[in-house]
Structure 1
Amino acid sequence: MNPTPILTFHQIAPEPPKGTGYRSLSVAPPDFASRMGFLKTLGWRGLSMTALLPYLRGEAHGKVFGITFDDGYLNNLTHAVPVLQQLGFSSTCYVVSAMLGQTNSWDRHNGVPPSELMAQQHLQQWLAAGQEIGAHTRHHVRLPTLDAATCQDEIAGCKTELEQITGAPVHHFCYPYGEYTAGHVAQVAQAGYASATTTQRGRCQSPDSLLELPRVPVLRRTSRPLLWWKLASNYEDRRRA
């Protein structure tokens, strides 16, 4: 099986001021459109996690990559969806279910300005646009710092809340901060998720567990040639811990 890349995005928003925490995680809207259009021109197709599953399982083959957005920012809906629709791409946005309509308060201590998260009506718009919603815990927690019962509530409860809110199935999970243990993987499986993504760098290979999938970060200064190199070569694979 050819390696399958899963791209990671956070905010699709104008460049934050110098000195802003996690500044590299904001990709300017024109840059996002340019990069996605570039990959489309090269014959690549961006897919949601559900659409990507047959490729991850080795059941299908093609020039495809996954598109994921972490945290559920409103600017994903505003700036990314029109581009994805125009190109015929789909994506998965990992949402923090108990914080809909609020801000990324978990980043405050890192000097990140508050940014609005999608509310219930925005999730419906996201789904209506042909995109997919995944789970990112209820409160964007550090799972290894919590007891097993609380982790279970955060992992399984997020799925339940999002399905109740949207009426759509939630099959995919993302570990906040990329922090997890074997016990959390077991809880994700028990909750019924079909896949889970990490912050481990690399393209997905055939031996990878579907509940511990690596991803390819796309940052503010990731140029179009570098993005292609990340997808088409072992550039990211060599950075896997």
Structure 2
Amino acid sequence: MPAPTRWSGALAVALAMSAGATSAQTQPASSAPRPVAAILMYHHVSDYVASGPYARALTVQPSEFARQLAWLRTNGCDTVTVNTIVADARANAIRGCEIAITFDDGYDDALAAAGALESEADTATLYVSSGLVGTPGHLTRAQVRTLSFGGLQIGAHTINHVDLTTLTSPVSLHEIEGSRAALQSWSSSAVDTFAYPAGKYDTHTEALVSGAGFRNAVTTQPGDLTPALAAADAFALPRYRVERDTGSALIKRIVGAQSRRGISASELRSIARQRVEGNDAALGERIGAAVLNASYPEPLLKVRVLRSADTTFVGLMLSGVKLHEHVDRATFANDVGGMIVRAFDARPDVAEVDVWAVRPLAVQPAATVSGDYAVPTSRTVFSAAVTRAQAQAAASRTQMLGKMYWEQDFLKDDSPR
């Protein structure tokens, strides 16, 4: 049986009302959207085509890229980092459509792509060959740092963009570890995902990358990211190559016809903006939009951000009632883990994410409780606090949450939702 689709609040209500007139027996089996998880590979986003035999095919025009992002958004796709999509696939937590956008080599037109991503409240993973940083046509160190702090995940792509299968083990390790060390010093964030240059790899290079402490590695072999694949071999992840003029058709084929429709980036940010508290509204809005776009059944009430000169703390307050679908404690904890991952993805200086769920309390006996903002007349029914180090070291989302507080009857079979 296909997993239930997760909907944002207003959309869920509208669809539930429209679906009420049709019985489950008469609905076609294909009415529910299939889970989609895929990694897309880009190189250039530019109106200018550099010289080289493959340059034109690998150069997507900015207008085309913007249309692709908009299409993904309106077809209900959540754009995430590579680490996030791998974690979601491994946990079998993808219920709709998740797409990880990646860029190889570290070309300077990644700045234009970053602007388009920002306008759609999207993120991406940028694989950089550290030895090319600062050379003509490539990003500078300062630009790598800016993109990292802007919410893009930075991944390693060797120092000199070499075929690792042709090198000795010591030289390969130097290329692998040296690239990560340089990128981490420029971005001040964990560099723990890797891309094989030109997609060249074998079991030996997989072992070297894994042994060097990376969490995953991507190839150039096309294919969807299935839960089985994410669990079995995170160091040979497939990617679809997006090329000029044909990329949009490829993306539509990968995602397929989705029965749910997303909302625009501006609408999503507007909804998130109303939930933000703290001293960094822009970051709160970005985190809120990322969580809302993932369409978890647990309603997001508030995003609190406390940012100092060198560190940031984030709090996510959820509703302990009015869940958009039935969930048990294991599902709830896994969803909370997904929200925390998205908060950490938003900025590399997010040091800790706290999540708590609340239920409103009646202000007098037998009073009707309505609305989720009955603060301070509410009680906490769930809470968890996770540091970045804790999240990076955990083997699963449940393990990442560590010791959680659960009110005794919260998410029991007979408890209200």
TM-score by length of 2: 0.50
CA distance in 1, matches of 2:247, 2:192: 32
| SS at structure 2 position matched to 1:199 | coil
What pairs up with 1:60-209 in 2 under 5 angstroms? 60-61=93-94, 62-77=96-111, 79-103=112-136, 116-208=137-229, 209=233
Shift of 1:166: 2.1
> Which residue does 2:78 correspond to in 1?
45
Higher normalized contact order (CA 8 Å, seq sep 6+, divided by chain length)? 1
In structure 2, the residue matched to 1:219 is 243
Cross-structure match for 1:238 = none
On the 8 A contact 1:95/1:136 being kept in 2, the answer is: yes
Distance 1:224 1:181 in 2: 31
Alpha-carbon distance in structure 2 between the residues aligned to 1:13 and 1:97: 21
Indicate yes or no: 2:238 matched with 1:210: no
Q: Secondary structure at the match of 2:47?
A: coil
Aligned 8 A contact 1:26 1:219 in 2? yes
- Give the letter for the 1:222 counterpart: T
Q: Which residue pairs with 1:58 in the alignment? A: 91
Q: Tell me what 1:113 maps to.
A: none
CA distance in 2, matches of 1:14, 1:66: 23
Gaps of 5+ in 2: 4-34, 258-417
User: Quick one: distance in 1 between partners of 2:52 and 2:181?
Assistant: 34
Deviations 1:164-194 (A, max 9, x none): 2222110100000111111110111111111
Which AA in structure 2 matches 1:194?
R
Amino acid at match of 1:141: V
The match for 1:107 is none
Cα distance change, pair 162–226 in 1 and its aligned pair in 2 (3 A): closer
Q: Output aligned runs, 1:27-38, within 5 Å.
A: 27-38=60-71
- 8 Å Cα contact 1:96/1:136 also seen in 2: yes
CA RMSD of aligned residues (A): 1.8
Instruction: Describe the shift of the 1:225–1:98 C-alpha distance in structure 2 as closer, same or farther (beyond 3 A).
Output: closer
Structure with the higher fraction of residues in helix conformation? 1
Q: In the superposition, relative to structure 1, how do residues 99 and 207 fare at CA in structure 2: closer, same or farther (>3 Å)? A: same
Check 1:161–1:186 CA distance in 2 against 1; reply closer, same or farther (3 A cut). same
Answer yes or no: is 1:21 the counterpart of 2:53. yes
CA deviation after TM superposition for structure 1 residue 132, in Å:
1.1
CA deviation profile, 1:75-107 (whole Å, cap 9, x unmatched): 011x1111111111110000011221114xxxx
One-letter amino acid matched to 1:128: F
SS where residue 79 of structure 2 aligns?
Answer: strand
Q: Structure 2 CA distance, aligned partners of 1:179 and 1:32? A: 26
Report how many residues are paired.
Answer: 219
In structure 2, the CA distance between the partners of 1:47 and 1:141, relative to structure 1 (3 Å rule), is same
Question: Which amino acid in structure 2 is aligned with residue 21 of structure 1?
Answer: P
Percent identity among equivalent residues? 31
* Separation of aligned partners in 2, 1:93 and 1:65: 14
Q: Name the counterpart of 2:361.
A: none
CA distance in 2, matches of 1:166, 1:15: 27
Counterpart CA distance in 2 for 1:93 and 1:87 is 17
